[in-house]
């Protein structure tokens, strides 16, 4: 599975002008299932994201994870958005190929599973809608953007 994680001051996702998910301080997680991915990869990816130390400690070093923010009363949120285009292959020309992305049924199942598990393991989780035409707005903090892949 693939993810692009952005540390944000705030982020939201809208469909047809209606906000369906929004967070303040936290992580915007764009996630993509690839062919052959399983719930084991989703679990591993979620664990890595929740423990990813990209928030500043009192010395200003990136030494805290999103779950550490709850202790500060910030309630670090997760906004999880499906994005099959993370699987883009641009090696063959100017039009990206998405053949490595999971088929829609598998992609939806893994996305739903990922969101469900995130809600079990974290206090504030918002999500987009799989396969919808979404508009994502964010204020990237830093900017900090981390690509991640688990096998």
| 83 assigned to active site | yes
Q: Which residues, 6 or more positions from 61, have their beta carbon under 8 angstroms from its beta carbon?
A: none
The answer to whether residue 67 is catalytic is no
Q: Alpha helix (H) ranges present in the chain?
A: 39-51, 104-121
Q: What is the DSSP string of 106-132?
A: HHHHHHHHHHHHHHHH-S-EEE--TT-
H-helix or E-strand spanning residue 7: strand 2-15
Catalytic residue among 35, 38, 47, 85: 85
Q: Of residues 83, 114, 117, 126, which has the active-site annotation?
A: 83
85 among known catalytic residues: yes
Backbone angles phi, psi at 79, to 5 degrees: -115, 110
Coil, strand or helix: which one is 61?
coil
Assigned token pair, 105? 């049924």
Q: Which of 25, 41, 55, 84 is catalytic?
A: 84
Q: Which residues are catalytic?
A: 83-85
């Amino acid at each position: 599975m693939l993810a692009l994680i952005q540390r944000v001051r705030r982020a939201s996702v809208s469909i047809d002008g209606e906000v369906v998910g929004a967070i303040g301080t936290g992580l915007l997680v764009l996630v993509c299932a690839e062919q052959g991915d399983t719930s084991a990869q989703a679990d591993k990816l979620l664990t890595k994201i929740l423990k990813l130390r990209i928030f500043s400690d009192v010395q200003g070093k990136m030494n805290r994870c999103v779950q550490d923010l709850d202790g500060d009363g910030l309630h670090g949120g997760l906004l999880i958005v499906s994005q099959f285009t993370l699987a883009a292959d641009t090696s063959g020309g100017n039009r990206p190929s998405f053949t490595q992305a999971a088929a829609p049924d598998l992609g939806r199942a893994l996305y739903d599973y990922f969101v469900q598990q995130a809600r079990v393991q974290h206090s504030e989780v918002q999500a987009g809608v799989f396969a919808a035409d979404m508009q994502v707005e964010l204020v990237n903090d830093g900017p900090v953007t981390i690509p991640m892949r688990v096998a």
